[in-house]
Copies of this chain bind each other. A is one copy, B any other.
Amino acid sequence: MNLPNALTYSHTLLGECVGPGDTVVDATVGNGHDTLFLANQVGPTGHVIGFDVQTAALTATQTQLTLTGLSAQVDLHATGHEHVGDYLDDTTQIAGAIFNLGYLPGGDKTVVTQAATTLTAVKSLLQHLRRGGRIILVVYSGHPGGMDERNAVVDFCQALPQKTYQVLQYGFINQIHHPPFLLAIERR
């Protein structure tokens, strides 16, 4: 067994806090890898709410969901995750959420997540996060602007009150090409 990378570990952490019937958010649908994982986790009685600004990515993901019989429990929205609050009822509690920051591999590398909209989305999600729920951010920083977003997100997480949240940082530190690392915000 090798030490899991940030992407693999993100699913381990979500698998521990998300179960049948839960509501969860995929803040960056992209290639749909996380969406399908979450749709399986929550099952037919659950709800996955997904966001992406790239409609081609949403179309491809919707096709995969249909082919795998998972589309009933998923709603995809062609808008930025900073609007997530508009798609959650005031009383809705979420069990988990995931962000893949940076650009979509294989997509348009000039379309990248931004610190301001990422943090707007995280703040909205924190208001709905149930106890024991987790918001996971897989942080890439090697692209132009990536370090700014990385620093803003880490600063925000470090300032979260420890009485209410635990924030874990997980990542490899001896790799040359800025591998992604993981931040996990858990509500106590």
Interface of A is mostly: mixed
Instruction: Enumerate A1-58 residues with CB–CB distance to B below 8 Å.
Output: 1-3, 13, 16-17
CB of A141 to closest CB in B, whole Å: 15
Query: A95 at the A/B interface (Cβ < 8 Å)?
Result: no
Copies in the complex: 2
**Beyond A2-B186, A132-B2, A184-B3, is A154–B173 a contact (Cβ under 8 Å)?**
yes
Which residues of A come within 8 Å of B, CB atoms?
1-3, 13, 16-17, 132, 134, 154, 157-162, 165-176, 183-184, 186, 188
Q: Could you list 15 examples of A-B contacts with CB < 8 Å?
A: A1-B16, A1-B132, A2-B166, A2-B188, A3-B13, A3-B166, A3-B168, A3-B184, A154-B173, A157-B174, A159-B174, A161-B174, A162-B175, A166-B175, A173-B183
